[in-house]
Structure 1
Amino acid sequence: MSEVTLTLSRVRKLQPGEIVWDKDVPGFFARKNANGSISFILKTRVSGKQRKLSLGKLGVVTVEKARDLARDYAFSARKGIEPRPEAPANPSPLMKDAVAAFIETYGMRIKPRTKEEYERMLKLHVLPRFKKKTVKDITQADVRAMHEAMGKTPRNANNVLTAFSKMMNWSIERGWRDKDSNPCKGVVRYREMRRNRYLSPDEAKRLGDTLRCVIRDGAESTYVVAAIWLIIFTGARRNEVLTLKWDYVDQERRILVLPDSKTGPKSILLNRHALAVLSGLTKVKGNPYVFVGHVTGKSLINIAKPWKRIRKLAKLPGLRLHDLRHSFGNRAIDAGGTTRVLGILLGHSDEDTTAIYAHVSDSRAVQLVDATGDLIAQSMKDIPVTAGLRAGLRRRPLPLKIQRKPVAA
């Protein structure tokens, strides 16, 4: 039985069912439960009789608080005094502590990107209002007031409500609120207007001209521009492209095989223009990613700022990267694609998983992705992708003079 000094970082590394004993207080240990929560427990004896006392869960009590309780109870037990088997002083934690515990434990169930978004929304919109309240104190009126205060950004308000509702259900599981007492339930969501923005032929030409210019002038990282070109010619999501590894690229079969995405595993067909983008790039030794970032061995993380500069030069200030995905879909429809085949190409979540993999041999899908790529290239005036990217890599692969080395942990 190994013993260590229990710390927050150590208990966070526990696996479900694993126990770690504290070497400073005999009988004090932490255990990770099947639901992801972490319990602190003291095992001791009082007048020869064994006792196992619950000291609380991480998020309700800190490691230090649990150790102090264990030390006090162990002292009482040695004196023959029955320790008080009481619940922690604050069974319903403050919101600031509950949010931290929710991100840490519930975050293991969801995708890293979703975890980041939940953390951002809760810390930006929920904590400023409720950080001094306990989880049990939050009422439906509180949630409604928060939601209404965000009325100018209805989509964001609804997303925050979703994240907060997940957290409240998670809190109910831990006994911090009564059953069926989610305060988000019954708060009416805003009606969202779906935004379907497509590039017009003139806008497509301006964007194509701008991308060629920034490569020619070395104004932006070649990898940033190449990533944008790949989004344009595949309709892939931004993060699917930015996190693309060379191992996922099968140029012979003309597909990208993604082990994970927003909708799960998927494959993406490549037309000749998308293949040209990839052919214009070279592998960087020691870096598995296609689109190399500033930090050695890492991928591009965020291209929001360079994209903002590019769309400003193209006089397309409101154009989002996601709109390029919409434009791909629109061009695919122009090329004769059906909504079913288009859904497969774009990896929509309502497509059957087997269909997503079966489509790589679907001749109609192959014809469609080729025709779509040709239409896009025509609207952007037949870009010489490969030569331009290779020239950019020789001249200025990154906007920094040297790549930064990763910071030591």
Structure 2
Amino acid sequence: MAKAAIKITKRSVDAAEPESARYELWDTDLKGFGLRVEPTGIKTFIARYRAGAGGRTAPKRFVTLGRYGALTPDDARRKAKEVLGAAARGEDPADAKAKERAAASLSELAEAFLASHVRKKRKAKTVENYENAINNYILPNLGRKKAKLVARLDLSRLHGDLSDKPAIANQIIAVASSMFSWGSRHSFVPEGFNPASKIERYDERRRERFLSTDEIERIGEALREAETIGLPWEPDPDKPQSRAKHSPKSENRRVKFGKETVAAIRLLLLTGARLREILHLRWDYVDSERGLLLLPDSKTGRKTIILNAPALLILEGLERVSDYVIPGDKPGKPRSDLKRPWAAVSTRSGLKGVRLHDLRHTHASFGAGSGMGLPIIGKLLGHTQSATTARYAHLDADPLRRASNKIGGAIAAALEGRPNGPAMPIEGKTKQLGESD
């Protein structure tokens, strides 16, 4: 219901009393600027115009400018001028606002990205990482925003809040960048829109741990103990006293590992394979005659792993009780992880902070230290990028040692007054070529 036109000011708005039905008051100075009064007493500034050419036959459009209180009459008048000016230029502000309200939220973009792209085209571990970044970090902080309104500052702040977890922080930005790139290609956000771009990543210190020969010997002793008499264990001090009270005596507190569990750990070290490549290994992937593991899929796609003689012996010593080389507790399923066995073995071996993945690094380090060359190491590990293998370059000591010996020998010869003859370091002293002992 409309009433006589008035000058919309603070006084006139305050004086407008609610009635049994909604009504509008229209401004005398700015045609199309009005105030809507609800029976509840809520007062809202509005703008009205005719869409299209603006003739009498054109449909009327209404745009809500904002509630009185949040907006002053003067603020509302300025917004009304913008809306009415846009309408006079042939635009349709109400339609634009409706499209803005209907624009995809970040939650909707994330859901579509995961369902239509990540889960269909990425491997299980990658899917897990993407879901963790989106569901545990990005959406809890920014999920209510429209996707196209997420700003670089929003993601930069989220990145900064995780400065104590640089790897996670960087992964979140990488996932966000991938999500917005996909959203841009599929019209969820404007083309080329990616607020995750140009955010400087934290410097991640790659964790490298290579086991020494002595440490490997200790692991071997622990594995032999685990599969024969079992490894000792201690009651959990956090459990109720009554339960700890009835635990076995110390000499009887041992846990014995199954043959397949011990074999899995040995195979990780002997082959340099990734954890899932061993745990998900099926017998039909094993080519014993040619000494190969023919994996139809891996982190880097189809892959062949060379089996050395010790690894072949381990496989030949296992019974084929399942389709999987390392069977799990559930029939027809592989073992899911080695967390508890490895924790017991590493504790028994006196190792701290050693991950199962470090067995793969150790396998590579022995090859690099033997002067086999990084291309060969990369092929054995299944690296598709030479840069991935480059982390082992500092272990390829033989060429450096030969160079150092040559330089040191020449300098030592000069120091001893024999500059024209090459010198060879032998047990701490130099020996001129051709000299007798």
Q: Residue 145 in 1 paired to residue 182 in 2? A: no
TM-superposed deviation, 1:113: 2.2
C-alpha RMSD over aligned residues: 2.2
What is the match of residue 308 of structure 1? Answer: 343
Q: Residue 337 in 1 paired to residue 372 in 2? A: yes
- Which of 199, 208, 224 is residue 212 of structure 1 equivalent to? 224
TM-superposed deviation, 1:221: 4.2
SS of equivalent residue, structure 1 residue 256? strand
Structure 2 CA distance for partners of 1:183 and 1:221, relative to 1, 3 Å? farther
Amino acid paired to 1:278: L
Measure, in 1, the Cα distance between the counterparts of 2:141 and 2:260.
41
TM-superposed deviation, 1:331: 0.9
Q: Residue 100 in 1 paired to residue 111 in 2? A: yes
8 A contact 1:91–1:176 mirrored in 2: no
Structure 2 CA distance for partners of 1:93 and 1:330, relative to 1, 3 Å? same
What is the match of residue 295 of structure 2? Answer: 258
- Which of 186, 209, 219 is residue 198 of structure 2 equivalent to? 186
Unaligned runs of 5+ in 2: 1-94, 231-254, 387-437
- Which of 260, 276, 286 is residue 223 of structure 1 equivalent to? 260
Amino acid paired to 1:173: R
TM-superposed deviation, 1:279: 1.5
Deviates more, 1:87-96 or 1:195-204: 87-96
Measure, in 2, the Cα distance between the counterparts of 1:326 and 1:137.
44
- Which of 346, 364, 379 is residue 381 of structure 2 equivalent to? 346
1:88-138 superposed Cα distances (whole Å, 9 cap, x missing partner):
885433333332222111121222221122112221221221222222221
Amino acid paired to 1:223: E
Amino acid paired to 1:254: G
TM-superposed deviation, 1:260: 1.3
Structure 2 CA distance for partners of 1:160 and 1:305, relative to 1, 3 Å? farther
8 A contact 1:244–1:291 mirrored in 2: yes
Name the % identity. 36
Structure 2 CA distance for partners of 1:102 and 1:200, relative to 1, 3 Å? same
Measure, in 2, the Cα distance between the counterparts of 1:171 and 1:100.
11
Measure, in 1, the Cα distance between the counterparts of 2:257 and 2:98.
58
Measure, in 2, the Cα distance between the counterparts of 1:305 and 1:169.
40
TM-superposed deviation, 1:87: 8.1
8 A contact 1:125–1:160 mirrored in 2: yes
Alignment of 1:370-385 (within 5 A): none
Question: 1 or 2 for the larger relative contact order (CA 8 Å, sep ≥6)?
Answer: 1
SS of equivalent residue, structure 1 residue 295? coil
Unaligned runs of 5+ in 1: 1-83, 352-409
8 A contact 2:223–2:262 mirrored in 1: yes
SS of equivalent residue, structure 1 residue 290? coil
Amino acid paired to 1:304: K
1:165-186 superposed Cα distances (whole Å, 9 cap, x missing partner):
1111111122221222201101
1:51-79 superposed Cα distances (whole Å, 9 cap, x missing partner):
xxxxxxxxxxxxxxxxxxxxxxxxxxxxx
SS of equivalent residue, structure 1 residue 125? helix
Measure, in 2, the Cα distance between the counterparts of 1:331 and 1:256.
21
What is the match of residue 136 of structure 1? Answer: 148
TM-superposed deviation, 1:314: 2.1
Amino acid paired to 2:275: R
8 A contact 2:109–2:188 mirrored in 1: no
8 A contact 2:282–2:323 mirrored in 1: yes
1:354-392 superposed Cα distances (whole Å, 9 cap, x missing partner):
xxxxxxxxxxxxxxxxxxxxxxxxxxxxxxxxxxxxxxx
With the length of structure 1 as denominator, give the TM-score of the two structures. 0.61
Measure, in 1, the Cα distance between the counterparts of 2:117 and 2:340.
31
Structure 2 CA distance for partners of 1:181 and 1:123, relative to 1, 3 Å? same
Q: Residue 296 in 1 paired to residue 331 in 2? A: yes
- Which of 349, 353, 359 is residue 318 of structure 1 equivalent to? 353
Alignment of 1:153-164 (within 5 A): 153-164=165-176
Amino acid paired to 2:269: I
Alignment of 1:86-125 (within 5 A): 90-107=101-118, 108-125=120-137
SS of equivalent residue, structure 1 residue 268? strand
Structure 2 CA distance for partners of 1:212 and 1:162, relative to 1, 3 Å? same
What is the match of residue 305 of structure 2? Answer: 268
1:151-197 superposed Cα distances (whole Å, 9 cap, x missing partner):
12212221222112111111112222122220110100111222221
Aligned pairs, how many? Answer: 265
8 A contact 1:250–1:256 mirrored in 2: yes
Runs of 4+ that moved beyond 6 A: 86-89
Larger radius of gyration: 2
Alignment of 1:5-154 (within 5 A): 90-107=101-118, 108-154=120-166
Structure 2 CA distance for partners of 1:119 and 1:211, relative to 1, 3 Å? same
8 A contact 2:209–2:361 mirrored in 1: yes
Structure 2 CA distance for partners of 1:97 and 1:111, relative to 1, 3 Å? same
- Which of 241, 244, 266 is residue 281 of structure 2 equivalent to? 244
